[in-house]
Amino acid sequence: MALFGSKCKHADKMPEPDWVTAGFSYEKTGFRYGFGHVLYQSKQSYEKQLANAENLARADLIKSLQVEVKSELDVQTRETSHNKKVNFKQDIVQRISTRSKLELPGLAIKEKWQNKKTCEVYVLVELSDRMVHLVAQKALVLSYFEQGKDASFNIYTRILILANAIEITQNNDFSQLPNSQSSEHLQEEIYAQKTSLENQLASQRNAVFIVNGREHSGMNKFLFEAISAQVSGSFEGGQCSSNKQCMSQAHQTPAVYGTIYSYAFNHVREQGFYVGNFELQISVWDLNTNQLLYNSKTDAAVKPVKVMARQEHKLTIESGFEKWKRANPTALAALKKYYR
């Protein structure tokens, strides 16, 4: 490698060009520029010094393009596959701030110049506004793709993020960027991730929880199967100590709906008989909006029942539930209309 001697072997004979004079302020319509300048280092080769100046010019261009592509994605009302609107209220709208690495497509040196007196090296790199737009759009797509994999976000939100990424790929031709995946290839990868989430959503649409009642396994099995018959994708969320805890657990799942049920059973002794009051309480929640869709407590058509027995051990929750089913034969089937 050639080292600098007493004279700058690669110095230009031409006078200082305009772009060197302008430095970081150099502009030209339709293009973005990066400027790099390194001082003479006697122990460095010209090639090394030129490479350093080129790296500085690239860094300057990246800075001017705002390395951090920040975007806010407001999740708004969208049409779902079953033609019902899902309204994401302001209190649960998630603003997604993304940081993306800009990939500069094979930038070559546009201009270079060495001062013959000081041996300082100057480099200019150039990117057209069209390429700037494509670079920024691709960075946004890749950022959305990563956000779509982030399980800390609501599954609906992740699907909408990926849909936004697909839309960007449809409106831009990334094959114009050197050494870049094509828009079609990126779209296929994103679509596969979106489809996977949609399948997951379809299979886990309704989380069913019971408040303090796990020991009644036979009754719970009947209730779970009856609820599952009203909405596809039902799964057992488990037991919780309160409705609030059930809702908290439900929000940790990909479910769209949360169904919570509990039993209320109290009994007293009256005139030689044990008399009990049984009530099955059911609530259905939209987990995207935290909206209570149904509550059996306010449903006049659902009636609590009274059960009686001469012996206390025969007065059970199960016996109360059997009578409740006879008294409310259509109550569980009626839930179907709340799962849109």
Across the chain, mean pLDDT equals: 82
Same-domain pairing of 47 and 179: yes
Q: Is the pLDDT of residue 232 over 90?
A: no
Cβ-contact 4, 119 below 8 angstroms:
yes
Residues 6+ apart with CB under 8 A from 241: 211, 212
Give the residue-averaged pLDDT of 180-187: 91
Residue 321 domain-assigned?
yes
Same-domain pairing of 40 and 178: yes
Its domain, for residue 50, covers 18-201
Owner of token pair 């018959």: 229
Residues 6+ apart with CB under 8 A from 220: 210, 213, 214
Cβ-contact 299, 197 below 8 angstroms:
no
Give the residue-averaged pLDDT of 237-251: 91
Q: At 52, which helix (H) or strand (E)?
A: helix 46-64
State the Cα–Cα distance between residues 128 and 219, nearest whole angstrom: 69
> Per-residue confidence at 7, pLDDT binned at 50, 70, 90?
low
Of the ranges 104-108, 125-129, 165-169, 193-197, which one carries the lowest mean pLDDT score? 104-108
19-68: pLDDT as tens digits: 999 999 999 999 989 999 999 888 888 999 999 999 999 888 887 776 44
Same-domain pairing of 214 and 238: yes
Longest dimension (CA), the chain: 119
User: Which of 149, 176, 201 lies at the terminal end of a domain, its last residue?
Assistant: 201
Q: At 122, which helix (H) or strand (E)?
A: strand 121-128
State the Cα–Cα distance between residues 99 and 251, nearest whole angstrom: 26
pLDDT at 75: 36
Residue 2 domain-assigned?
no
User: Which of 201, 229, 254 lies at the terminal end of a domain, its last residue?
Assistant: 201
Cβ-contact 19, 109 below 8 angstroms:
no
Structure-model confidence comparison of residues 88 and 123, the more confident one: 123
Segment 53-60 long-range contacts (CB within 8 Å, at least 24 positions apart)? 53/112, 53/121, 53/122, 53/123, 54/109, 54/123, 54/125, 56/123, 57/109, 57/123, 57/124, 57/125, 58/34, 58/104, 58/107, 58/125, 59/34, 60/24, 60/34, 60/35, 60/36
Structure-model confidence comparison of residues 216 and 49, the more confident one: 49
Q: Is the pLDDT of residue 2 over 60?
A: no
* Residue 182 belongs to domain with CATH number: 3.10.28.20
Residue 1 domain-assigned?
no
* Residue 247 belongs to domain with CATH number: 3.40.50
pLDDT at 166: 94
Give the residue-averaged pLDDT of 219-245: 90
Same-domain pairing of 148 and 229: no
281-307: pLDDT as tens digits: 999 999 988 999 999 999 999 999 999
pLDDT at 82: 34
Give the residue-averaged pLDDT of 61-76: 54
Residue 55 domain-assigned?
yes
User: Which of 140, 171, 201 lies at the terminal end of a domain, its last residue?
Assistant: 201
Structure-model confidence comparison of residues 213 and 191, the more confident one: 191
